[in-house]
Structures are given as structure tokens and as C-alpha cells.
Structure 1
Amino acid sequence: MPDYKDIKVIGFDADDTLWVNETFFRDAEAEFAQMLSQFETPNKIEQELFKMEIKNLPLYGYGVKGFVLSMVEMAIDLSNGTVSNEIMTKILDIGKRMLNEPVELLDGVEEVLEALSKKYKLIVATKGDLLDQERKLEKSNLLKYFHHIEVLSEKKEDNYSKLLKHLEIQPQHFLMIGNSLKSDVLPLINIGAKAVHVPFHTTWQFETVHNSPLSKTEFLTLKSLSDLKNYL
């Protein structure tokens, strides 16, 4: 098991680590696919929408707004430009609804943050749209536990290294906790920090790692954030 005795700062991913997020995207995808089922099968629409999202990531980044723009573009493509104003309005409504969803904290989150904040400096390191993530953090009532909030355009080794340098944190003193092996675990291990993987019940396929180069001894996998109390 990894040794956490030198940890001074703990970073938390936000979406699907502190609160529910991916579920809203899956529901929106299904609704969108049904809405356009006159043009293609729902399964094919969801597959093509994912491809569109990945194509658009360099332009729009992560988050609801980029997702909605990809749905709009997909609707135009699927219908050969004949999609109705009614469907376009419904797509926009899906996005607005997603942005206004209540923040549903995952089990044990506040208790864990309250306990850890007495011993460690806590930060948020997440991806997504800045305005949306700030809104969710405000709604969550968790801001009081964090010394710093960072919304990253990507979560790769370079991004984490720059963040730690900016905050004057040595990698060996930093522990990252998140639901994504690709974004919250592998980059941290590679720069000499520690990581804890807390999987969410559903993961966006872009974040899926099929063959991890790490052994299970290099990071901890927990069923719930509440289990952290047994290790920190």
C-alpha cells in the first residue's frame, strides 16, 4: 500500500468525486438520441455524438456548454440541415436544465472534507467550464474547506506540474483524489505525487483506461470517500 506520511496537501476532483455529474450527461444523451430517432437509431446517434464531442474538445473544452454545441452540430449533420427550430430549442433547454441541476453531494463528502481540513491543506483541481464549476462549488457549500480552486483546461502531467509549482507544493507532498484513472491518478503518479482512485458508477468513455500501466500497489482504490479515514 502507498505511504501517505509525507502528504501535506490533498487535491480533489469535483465532478463525480464530490458530487453527481456524469449521470446528467448520460440522461441528456439518451433524451437527445430519442429526439432525433427519425434520422438514425438512438445507439448510433449516441456513438456519433461522442465522436463529435471529442472532435470539438480542442475548441470548446469540457463541460455542459461544449456538450450542447456538439448536440446542435450533430442535429444539423444528422438531419442534413433540416432539423426544426423546435428541436433546436429543446436541445438548448436540455443544456439549461443541466446547468441548473441541484448539486447532489456523494456519500460522506462533507464529513471527509471537514475531518481532513483539520490536518491537511485541501484544494480542488477539476476540469470543465469555469463559470459552471464555480456555480456548483457555491451551491455545494463546500468552499469553506478549500484553500484553492483550480479549473484546468486539461488534467495531464504538465497541467499538474504547473499547478503544484504555482502553489509551491512538492509532488511528494501532494495527494490527488478522483474518480478517473486517466485524469486523477496516472498523471500524478507519473510526476511523483500520490493518488487515490474512487470510481463513480458511470464513467464517460473518454476517461476510460483499458490497460493501466500502473500496478495496483502504486495507488489506492476505494469504494467511497468515507473509506479515506482508514488511511489518512
Structure 2
Amino acid sequence: MGRNLLTIAFDADDTLWHNERFFKLTQQRFAELLADYADPRDLDARLLAAERRNIGHYGFGIKGFVLSMIETAIEVTQERVPASVISELILAGQEMLQHPIDLLPHAADTLDALASDHHIVLITKGDLLDQERKLAQSGLGEMFDAVEIVSDKNAATYSRIFSGTPGQARAALMVGNSVKSDVLPAIEAGAWGVWVPHDLAWDLEHATPPDTHGRYREIAHLGELPGLVSRIREQSTE
């Protein structure tokens, strides 16, 4: 029953606040530093391959990104990368870790509108310290009934988290900017999945939206979420 929608879960990066644009800016800086050694398009492809290889070692987040840039720099220069370039990459990562939080439009208002009638959960993946820092600086922390910082997002992750929420997965809705991480595994776990696209997306997060699934919805921005939640709750059948 749609009116049994009790839990609303949110992704963090590029759903509640900007994130990927800082990675893109650093990647441009990376290309400039290695312009004498590699074409930017080839460099991007090799960096993406390194990130894909390294997820299992470093997880998601800035630290793994910096290590992948350093690894790629060593590869494309045939181990002749100047120490000054390595220093610049480390500095770039430190700057990313210190960057102020910039909320996306409607983030705070939407959380405030939904918090009184729903159990509100933050489900984000990445580096623990960095995600805790961003949440603290966002000013949104008190709006969440629970915060889950996980190493990855899959159906088992959502099943575990929603098993401890009111109504469990069948009464939960997950909203985020990644079809791959926020929508598909949440639906597989039995929840609703709501995609709110962001202008920038990491290549490793691309996936095809499940347009025909009964528990899939898409919204243009977070300001549309309260209305969508109301419509789902008013449905007598799925």
C-alpha cells in the first residue's frame, strides 16, 4: 500500500550537496600537470581504469581518487613523473577534503517538509571521515533519524538498513542521483527508488533507469519530492 510509505532515505553527494564538480575540476588540473606526457582523453580513460581497479582496495572517495591519479601519473610517464607533480596532486586532494559544503537547491526545505511525518535516513558511501565532515558542515545533520556511511551500496546494504526502519523495505523510499547505486539496488531490496539526475555524474555510476518498474520514479529536482511522496502515499495499490 502506498500509504505505508514510512521511511525516506537520501543519498548525500550530488543529491543533497555538490560533490562531483570538485572531482572534475581536480581532473582538469591533473590533465594540465601531465599535458607533456598524455593526451587529455587518453589520460581520462586511464584514470577511469585505475579508479575501477582500485575501488576494491581504496573504496569510494577523495583519497582513492588521489591515489588513482598518482598511479596513473606514474604509468603514463613510465615512472618518470616529477616529484613536484605528485606534490601538486596531494595538495589537490587536501583542498578537496577542505572544500566548503554547497547545498543543492531545495535540499534543506525538502528534508524539513518530510521530517515530521517520516523516518529520515541518510545513506551515503565513501570515506568515513570525509562524509562525517560534510554532514557536519552541511547543517542538515539534525534532520536525520539515522545516518549510514557504507563502503558500497547494493541490495544487501539496503536490506540491512531498511530492516531496522519502520515498515522495513516495503515502506521505504530511496532518493539519489545515481541509478546504479541509489535506485536499482534499493528497488531490488523491495523499496521505492527515486532518481533525481545531476548535471555531472561519475562514469562508473552510469546505469539504465528501470523505467517500467512499478516502484521507480524520476524527479527533476528535490523540490518535487514532497509532492511525489504524497502521491505515492495516496495510492491504494502499487
TM range, smaller chain:
over 0.9
**2:221 is equivalent to residue 224 of structure 1:** yes
Cα drift, residue 162 of structure 1: 1.6
Cα drift, residue 192 of structure 1: 1.3
SS at match of 1:15: coil
Give, as a single letter, the amino acid of the residue that structure 1 aligns with 2:153: K
**2:212 is equivalent to residue 215 of structure 1:** yes
Counterpart CA distance in 2 for 1:148 and 1:213 is 28
Q: Which moved more, 1:131-140 or 1:68-77?
A: 68-77
Counterpart CA distance in 2 for 1:48 and 1:164 is 37
| 1:46-125 mapped onto 2 (5 Å cutoff) | 46-125=44-123
Give, as a single letter, the amino acid of the residue that structure 2 aligns with 1:47: A
| 1:123-142 mapped onto 2 (5 Å cutoff) | 123-142=121-140
| 1:103-182 mapped onto 2 (5 Å cutoff) | 103-167=101-165, 169-182=167-180
Counterpart CA distance in 1 for 2:152 and 2:142 is 25
SS at match of 1:126: strand
Cα drift, residue 231 of structure 1: 2.0
Over the aligned positions, Cα root-mean-square deviation in angstroms equals 1.4
SS at match of 1:10: strand
| Matched residue, 1:205 | 203
| Matched residue, 2:234 | none
Cα drift, residue 165 of structure 1: 2.5
Structure 1 gap ranges (5+): none
Give, as a single letter, the amino acid of the residue that structure 1 aligns with 2:59: G
SS at match of 1:62: coil
Cα drift, residue 229 of structure 1: 2.3
Give, as a single letter, the amino acid of the residue that structure 1 aligns with 2:103: L
Residue 19 of structure 1 contacts residue 104 of structure 1 at CA under 8 Å; is this kept in 2? yes
Relative to 1, partners in 2 of residues 1:222 and 1:214: Cα closer, same or farther, differing over 3 Å? closer
| Matched residue, 2:20 | 22
Q: Which moved more, 1:77-86 or 1:57-66?
A: 77-86
Counterpart CA distance in 2 for 1:169 and 1:131 is 30
Give, as a single letter, the amino acid of the residue that structure 2 aligns with 1:146: F
Moved over 3 A (4+): 166-169, 211-214
Give, as a single letter, the amino acid of the residue that structure 2 aligns with 1:155: K
What is the percentage of aligned positions where both structures have the same residue?
A: 38
SS at match of 1:18: coil
| Matched residue, 1:190 | 188
TM-score (norm 2): 0.92
SS at match of 2:15: coil
Counterpart CA distance in 2 for 1:44 and 1:109 is 36
| Matched residue, 2:235 | none
Relative to 1, partners in 2 of residues 1:213 and 1:224: Cα closer, same or farther, differing over 3 Å? closer
The alignment covers a number of residue pairs equal to 229
Structure 2 gap ranges (5+): 230-238
Residue 122 of structure 2 contacts residue 144 of structure 2 at CA under 8 Å; is this kept in 1? yes
TM-score (norm 1): 0.94
Counterpart CA distance in 2 for 1:208 and 1:216 is 18
Counterpart CA distance in 2 for 1:139 and 1:72 is 29
